[in-house]
Amino acid sequence: MAKVTVRYWAAAKAAAQVAEEPFEAETLAEALDAVRERHPGELARVLLRCSFIVDGDPVGTRGHETVRLIEGGTVEVLPPFAGG
């Protein structure tokens, strides 16, 4: 299992009530499952609208189970932003 830092932004940060926290996971899907388990309320709902960046690389439409995580990596959780 890779130890990664999950960083929350905007509505995700408000729902998690923390800016970042550590998780152990092999894939983005596993990390997000762990996030949902730790935060089953509002954050789980916010995640449905989020996009993700893993180690500076946007995930886009790739399946979360195909996105491998590396030791010391970072997952950015980005809800939709308003404005321009």
The tens digit of pLDDT for each residue in 10-30 reads: 999 999 999 999 999 999 999
Q: Each residue of 25-56: pLDDT tens digit?
A: 999 999 999 999 999 999 999 999 999 999 99
pLDDT of residue 81: 77
> How many whole angstroms separate alpha carbon 36 and alpha carbon 64?
14
The reported pTM is 0.93
Q: Can you give the three-state secondary structure of 34-57, one letter per residue?
A: HHHHHCCCHHHHHHCCCEEEECCE
Domain residue limits, the chain: 2-78
CATH, range 2-78 = 3.10.20.30
Q: How confident is the model over 60-81, as a mean pLDDT?
A: 96
pLDDT of residue 83: 55
In the chain, what's the furthest Cα-to-Cα distance?
38
